[in-house]
């Protein structure tokens, strides 16, 4: 029994050894075939690689970049802003160079497209209103949506995104551009609407009236407080308060007016434009597998394609020879 088992093991080892030798021989033959293939087509391979590098380099030189313009649409012009971005996109897709040149774009062919994205800031959205009741209702609404697990879905909807105070205009360009050539003409176009210019003038006029009125009230309150202070120091005046609560109310009113004036002064700065630019990031390279790597990808793809074609031709010829031999034997 032991002799039979030993013979069986020896046969198995011999079989495995032969299989390994055959596999190594096939690998060796395949490697040598590859060397012969390269030797035979070395000139063609060099040409294919050179063409791939050239095409890849040209492609890399025309990379796409994002120009990000952070803006605030004033005077309830967010729908107008979304509509204008859509119109500009349609003009770009239609290659309407006459229109694009007319609004100041010197090289419209470099613009691949525009997009408008909200800067999602729930806390600012809730706190941006002066009315505490409205802010409270907004907070309760977001709380209810969050409890239902629909917060992310709601934030992505365009109807919700239009309600955020700050937006980002993303201008995708083919190659590096300057702010003067691309961003400024688009902003000038967005700020040229006649209707919103009239609305802008009214907003500024009303804001100036409010600032003047608040300044007057603050001066009057300062006068009252000064008179009360002089009376406590022994002066003769008619200003008095029945209790500390009334004095606190006056001081609180003044603090609210001062805070409102600070907001009004910021509004005055923002109201200088219909679509107010807050900042710009130029020539932000878009992330992607191919960006900047085309000079490597193109030669590899072309070389693999060449090898595949040659293998297919070799396979086709071998099958033709095989069938001719079979036909002759018949």
Q: Is residue 152 part of a domain?
A: no
Give the bridge partners for 169, in sequence order.
Answer: 69, 116
Q: Are residues 106 and 213 in the same domain?
A: yes
Please state the domain count of the chain. 2
**Secondary structure of residue 218 in the 3-state scheme:** helix
The residue whose two tokens read 């004033």 is 74
Predicted local distance difference test score (pLDDT) of residue 294: 79
Q: Is residue 158 part of a domain?
A: no
Q: Is residue 197 part of a domain?
A: yes
Q: Are residues 309 and 260 in the same domain?
A: no
Q: Are residues 200 and 258 in the same domain?
A: yes
Who contacts 65 (Cβ-Cβ below 8 Å, separation ≥6)? 172, 173, 175, 176, 177, 283, 284, 285, 286
Who contacts 282 (Cβ-Cβ below 8 Å, separation ≥6)? 67, 177, 178, 179, 183
Q: Are residues 183 and 279 in the same domain?
A: yes
Q: Is residue 150 part of a domain?
A: no
Q: Are residues 100 and 199 in the same domain?
A: yes
Q: Is residue 53 part of a domain?
A: yes
Predicted local distance difference test score (pLDDT) of residue 23: 73
Q: Are residues 75 and 217 in the same domain?
A: yes
Q: Are residues 92 and 240 in the same domain?
A: yes
Buried b / exposed e along 214-234 (16+ C-beta atoms within 10 A)? beeebeebeebeeebeeeeee
Asked whether the beta carbons of 108 and 92 are under 8 A apart, the reply is yes
CA-derived radius of gyration, the chain: 38
Q: Is residue 146 part of a domain?
A: no
Q: Are residues 295 and 277 in the same domain?
A: no
Predicted local distance difference test score (pLDDT) of residue 16: 65
Q: Are residues 203 and 56 in the same domain?
A: no
Q: Are residues 279 and 181 in the same domain?
A: yes
Q: Are residues 31 and 112 in the same domain?
A: no
Interior angle at CA 271, CA 270 and CA 272, nearest 5: 90
Q: Is residue 200 part of a domain?
A: yes
The residue whose two tokens read 């774009």 is 105
Kind and range of the H or E run holding 279: strand 275-285
Mean pLDDT by 10 residues, the chain (330 residues): 51 67 74 80 87 82 86 93 94 92 91 88 57 60 62 58 83 90 94 95 95 91 74 54 65 88 92 94 75 80 88 83 74
The boundaries of the domain holding residue 263 are 64-119+166-285
Q: Are residues 179 and 258 in the same domain?
A: yes
Q: Is residue 302 part of a domain?
A: yes
């Amino acid at each position: 029994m032991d002799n039979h088992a030993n013979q069986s093991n020896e046969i198995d080892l011999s079989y495995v050894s032969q299989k390994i030798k055959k596999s190594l021989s096939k690998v060796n033959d395949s490697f040598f075939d590859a060397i012969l293939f390269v030797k035979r087509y070395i000139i063609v391979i060099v040409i294919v690689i050179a063409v791939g590098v050239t095409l890849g380099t040209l492609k890399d030189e025309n990379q796409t970049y994002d120009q990000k313009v952070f803006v605030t649409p004033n005077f309830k012009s967010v729908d107008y802003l979304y509509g204008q971005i859509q119109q500009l996109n349609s003009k770009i897709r239609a290659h309407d160079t006459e229109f694009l040149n007319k609004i100041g774009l010197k090289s419209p062919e470099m613009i691949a497209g525009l997009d408008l994205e909200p800067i999602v800031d729930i806390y600012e959205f809730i706190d941006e209103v002066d009315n505490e009741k409205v802010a409270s209702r907004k907070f309760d609404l977001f709380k209810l949506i969050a409890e239902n697990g629909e917060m992310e879905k709601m934030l992505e909807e365009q109807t919700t995104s239009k309600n955020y105070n700050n937006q980002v205009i993303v201008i995708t360009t083919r190659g590096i551009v300057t702010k003067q050539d691309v961003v400024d003409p688009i902003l000038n176009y967005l700020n040229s609407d006649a209707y919103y210019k009239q609305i802008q003038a009214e907003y500024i006029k009303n804001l100036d009236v409010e600032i003047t009125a608040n300044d007057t009230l603050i001066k009057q309150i300062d006068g009252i407080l000064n008179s009360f202070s002089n009376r406590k120091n022994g002066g003769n005046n008619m200003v008095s308060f029945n209790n500390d609560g009334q004095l606190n109310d006056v001081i609180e009113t003044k603090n609210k007016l001062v805070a409102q004036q600070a907001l009004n002064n910021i509004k005055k700065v923002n109201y200088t434009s219909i679509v107010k630019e807050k900042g710009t990031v130029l020539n932000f390279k878009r992330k992607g597998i191919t960006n900047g790597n085309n000079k490597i990808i193109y030669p590899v793809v072309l070389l693999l394609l060449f090898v595949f074609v040659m293998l297919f031709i070799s396979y086709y010829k071998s099958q033709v020879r095989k069938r001719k031999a079979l036909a002759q034997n018949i």
